[in-house]
Chains A and B, each alone.
Chain A
Amino acid sequence: MKLPNFSSIKFPRRPMERRDLLRWAAGLGMSFTLPGLTTRAAERRGTERPRSLLTIWLSGGPSQLETWDPHPGSLIGGPTRAIDTSIKGVQIAEGFPLLAGQLHHLSVIRSLTSREGDHDRATYTVKTGFRPDPTVTHPGIGAIVAHAQPSTELELPPVVSLGQENSPWKGGFLGGSFNALQVREPGQAGENVRDWIEEPRQQRRLDGLDLVGKRFLQGRGAVVNRTQHEHSIEAAIRMMTSEQVKAFEIDEEPEEIRAAYGDSNFGRGLLVARRLIEEGVRSVEVTLQNFDTHDDNFTRHQNHATVLDPAFAALLKDLAARDLLASTAVLCLGEFGRTPRINGAEGRDHWPHGFSCLVGGAGLKGGQLIGATDPAGEREKPEDPIGVDDLYATVLTALAIDPAHQVQTPIGRPIKYSNGKPIGRLLG
């Protein structure tokens, strides 16, 4: 059996010269004149590029009525007003003027349904496309995408979760290697993706690790190999010393780009997400949290909109300008919606019966409107209901992945990537 020899991993000197050059070029607004950070995924554009998934996760359950399905002037609508968008005849809540101008890149679904109204169970359902099942842990949709299209060139983890997310995508029965790498404060120092020890000392630590590791290997060769322990350390070090790891940093981005995404943890997360996808990362989720508005629903949604609107609009513009939208599926949703009824605390409660999401990119048709909810709030069931699994079957199909592909769980149970049926109207 072969083990990576840590002694042979040579730490590159910090590429300061290159970095300074980039900063200088960025200052002149010339960063595009420089070659890409790597010669790999970042160089390819348009449909040639390997495809990726970017999920904007609104955790806590965003109100459809205060986002993509407003019903102004009705009993259930509350004070939220609606504005026109770049999709003819489709209005969204007034807090999203910038996104309204970019909405034609996406389609609006107003009839997502699930049967789970509890946060944990609903989160599981909407993150995996399957209801919780105590006998198996399903992989998150991001893990499925990475599993279906492994990348050989990538030195970063294929699945990344950015922001304060409590339930980042897991590999489930696909294995821990598809668990998301989580960076809670993206675009900051990147504390768990960078090494902090100067090179001669780090090298010495690794030499020591080599020595202790070899001793442990004696009489355990095949089983130690199966643990993947040394290999994941090697991969982690490769990541930390790779040029690609710079995708986690945003100080090289032009000032106006950073400003457009906004000075917020979420905005920085979306900007890092774009950089990661450019680098070839398969699946990125970026979380904006605290949508569980049982009280003060309207003010809290307005506040969220001031963060979400500029960042989301900047992302769509940026992806389109870089010709990355054709290869990147973009999805924005939370675990459920909120009740049409406004409760006594000016809040809305959990509502999994007809909630909204935005979806587009990766060749999916933009400008479509699917489903409708009852403006009187009386009928629970929306028109044209769409299951979460149907949404994921659609996204997978757009990413050139067969949703009906079966994977064997470790105990030999065959499970499909998704049990849903692709939504024909969204596919080209």
Chain B
Amino acid sequence: MTHSRHWLRPLTAAGLVLAAFAWLVARPLLDAPSTPDAPSAEDLAEPLGKLNEVFARQWQDNGIESAAAADDLTGLRRISLALVGSVPSIEEIREFENDSSGNRLQRWTSRFIADRRFIEYFGVNLSEAFIDLEGDNQEAHQRLRFIEWIGESIQKGRPYDEMAREIIAGRGVLADEPAATMVAMEFGEGVMAPERLAGRISRALLGQRIDCAQCHDHPFDDWTQGQFEGIAAHFGQVNVRMAMIQDTRRGPFVIDDTRNNLKREVEPAVPFDPEWRPEDGNQRERLATWVTHPENRRFRRAIANRMWGLLVGRPLVHPVDGLPDPPDANEPDALDILGNDFAAHDHDLRRMIHLIVASRPFGLESTHPGLDDAATAQTLQEAHAVFPLSELDAHQLIRSMQQAVSIRTIRPEAEWTYVRLKRYESRFQFVRDYGEQSDDSENEASTVPQAAERLTGYKVRNLTRPGVTNAPGRIGAMAAADKGVEEAFLACLTRRPAAEEAAFFLDQPGRNTNQRSRTVEDVYWTLFNSAEFCWNH
């Protein structure tokens, strides 16, 4: 019997190979991206007016003049880098330039938020506040689920306070509850999970670094060790078994005091306004309600500061999780204005993004006559009177390089599976070797290993090498060399070359396609290594 079926085997094998091949080359058919509606200018007018007034007053008080307004292409580059993690494609630049609507920057902001790349890039950046993105590979799937959940929740306009409550108090089987990943991952790491969670929650959701109070009272602020432990005690009932998160542990929460190696029982408590914490619900739910209480200004100020940092490259208050006590409610600062508008509009993060993009500081040039002098430069930057320079992180850099050498907009959902996997692989390798950015962004500066990687590393070399299908190859094959240089500049720097730049790059031997391709490769190499490419401006 079995013998007679032998002929089936090669056929099955061939079928499997064919199926695998079909899967690899499968490319979904998709419509061109649509541009969803953006909030209208009138809709944003009131909070925007207040926000801009705060900055205008700050400039006036300091006797400084802000930088000029940046052009729209620069604005497009900024929102593209912040929201989808790469410079805009030539395709997008052309379309943007042909968009004659009055509020095209707002429309494109909406479009980028709705983009699949928004989840892959912005989702990752916001997730970093809650979970460690590096580490044990066994948790890779959990991390991805969490990132998708964050990204998609923003895209759908889910209220952020609701999201925060789920992150703190989510229960159930992890596969169905990506929000519970933060709690599950900390418990997965073993001892002291409640303490680490107390630190995470105060940093991510309250903008306060009270972790230092884990071992001693906070040196600068009013946080005490007791307050820290009170937050941690809300996680004393958590039980994680077989990917199931529940609150079934009995008995008091016991803390191991590292100062004197004594064990102490600790009651759940909150550091301020205990009346916001309801009597009913389990401990985590009570904490979640307290953190997101409508009167808790720290909660919304924290996310406003974080969002400002993700969009502008520098948070309004640095470090992003070291906020001072809120000012008098009658004298709202920029964080209050952003936070209050946010709370009044269903905690919709999309709206907050729009408000920040529409604000005066976001639209300013990154050049200013005062920036040639170090002291003046500092004053201007601290008053948000110029758009700050910030270094592209490794993800932005490799995504931008990949985009710049691609003819079409890279849309993960529209690519052949094989191409997409290869692209992810080379991104992974680049990020691994180029290095994640340090958390201490005060120290932000290019390093020699990174420069060497860009100047001579094979990953960059492979990208700039002209090929049949990539932009350097196609541009090199174009007969009009001046058009080619322009395309390369647009693709990398989102601007056209100045006359002297065009003259320099055109003055190269280029009698045949081969030589022209080398010239284009050199242009790409040069632009990839320029500060203008490597820094957001």
A residues at B contact (CB < 8 Å): 1, 117-121, 133-137, 157, 166, 170-177, 179-182, 184, 191-196, 201, 204-205, 207-209, 211-213, 215-216, 218-233, 235-237, 239-240, 409-411, 413
Bound-state CA distance A221–B374 (Å) is 8
B371: which of A119, A177, A221 is its contact (CB, 8 Å)?
A221
B residues at A contact (CB < 8 Å): 132, 134-136, 189-190, 196, 199-200, 203, 209, 211-212, 219, 319, 321-322, 365-369, 371-374, 376-377, 381, 388-389, 391, 432-433, 435, 438-440, 442-453, 455-458, 461, 498, 500-501, 504-505, 508, 518, 522-523, 525-527, 529-532, 534-535, 537
Q: Are B367 and A218 in contact (CB under 8 A)?
A: yes
Bound-state CA distance A172–B211 (Å) is 18
Provide a sorted-by-A list of 10 A–B residue pairs whose CB atoms are within 8 angstroms. Answer: A166-B432, A175-B438, A176-B443, A196-B456, A205-B526, A208-B522, A209-B526, A215-B532, A223-B371, A237-B455
A263 smallest CB distance to B (angstroms): 24
Q: Are A219 and B319 in contact (CB under 8 A)?
A: no
B136: which of A120, A173, A184 is its contact (CB, 8 Å)?
A120
A78 smallest CB distance to B (angstroms): 26
Bound-state CA distance A239–B381 (Å) is 34
Q: Are B529 and A137 in contact (CB under 8 A)?
A: no
- In the complex, residue of chain B having the shortest beta-carbon distance to the beta carbon of A121: B189
Q: Are B445 and A175 in contact (CB under 8 A)?
A: yes
B535: which of A204, A212, A229, A409 is its contact (CB, 8 Å)?
A229
Q: Are A195 and B136 in contact (CB under 8 A)?
A: no
Q: Are A181 and B442 in contact (CB under 8 A)?
A: no
A6 smallest CB distance to B (angstroms): 10
- In the complex, residue of chain A having the shortest beta-carbon distance to the beta carbon of B196: A134
Leading 7 A-B pairs by shortest Cβ distance:
A219-B367, A410-B442, A221-B372, A228-B445, A236-B451, A208-B526, A229-B531
A300 smallest CB distance to B (angstroms): 19
A222: which of B366, B372, B438 is its contact (CB, 8 Å)?
B372
A184 smallest CB distance to B (angstroms): 8
- In the complex, residue of chain B having the shortest beta-carbon distance to the beta carbon of A157: B448
Residues of A within 8 A of B381 (CB): 223
Q: Is the interface of B mostly helix, strand, loop or mixed?
A: helix
Bound-state CA distance A237–B439 (Å) is 27
Residues of A within 8 A of B377 (CB): 222-223
Number of A-B contacts (CB under 8 A): 199
Q: Are B458 and A191 in contact (CB under 8 A)?
A: yes
The verdict on A181 contacting B449 (CB below 8 Å), with A119-B136, A209-B529, A212-B530 known, is: yes
B481 smallest CB distance to A (angstroms): 15
Residues of A within 8 A of B372 (CB): 1, 219, 221-222
Q: Are A227 and B389 in contact (CB under 8 A)?
A: yes
The verdict on A177 contacting B389 (CB below 8 Å), with A171-B438, A172-B440, A196-B461 known, is: no
Q: Are B374 and A222 in contact (CB under 8 A)?
A: yes
**Besides the known contacts A171-B443, A213-B531, 6 further A-B residue pairs in the complex with CB atoms under 8 A apart:** A121-B189, A209-B530, A212-B527, A223-B377, A228-B446, A233-B455
The verdict on A134 contacting B455 (CB below 8 Å), with A219-B368, A221-B371 known, is: no
The verdict on A118 contacting B443 (CB below 8 Å), with A205-B522, A218-B367, A236-B452 known, is: no
Q: Are B438 and A229 in contact (CB under 8 A)?
A: no
Bound-state CA distance A166–B135 (Å) is 10
Residues of A within 8 A of B209 (CB): 135
Q: Are A236 and B455 in contact (CB under 8 A)?
A: yes
Q: Are B535 and A227 in contact (CB under 8 A)?
A: yes
Bound-state CA distance A213–B211 (Å) is 42
Bound-state CA distance A119–B200 (Å) is 21
B257 smallest CB distance to A (angstroms): 14
Q: Most chain-A CB neighbours within 10 Å: which of B451, B458, B537? A: B451
Residues of A within 8 A of B526 (CB): 205, 208-209, 212
Q: Are B199 and A222 in contact (CB under 8 A)?
A: no
Bound-state CA distance A204–B261 (Å) is 65
Q: Are A240 and B455 in contact (CB under 8 A)?
A: yes
Bound-state CA distance A409–B190 (Å) is 29
A212: which of B319, B367, B369, B532 is its contact (CB, 8 Å)?
B532
Q: Are B442 and A233 in contact (CB under 8 A)?
A: no
Bound-state CA distance A133–B209 (Å) is 11
Q: Most chain-B CB neighbours within 10 Å: which of A157, A204, A219? A: A219
Residues of A within 8 A of B450 (CB): 176, 232
Residues of A within 8 A of B458 (CB): 191-192
Bound-state CA distance A208–B498 (Å) is 13
Residues of B within 8 A of A213 (CB): 530-532
A152 smallest CB distance to B (angstroms): 15
Bound-state CA distance A213–B448 (Å) is 17
Bound-state CA distance A239–B451 (Å) is 11
Q: Are B451 and A133 in contact (CB under 8 A)?
A: no
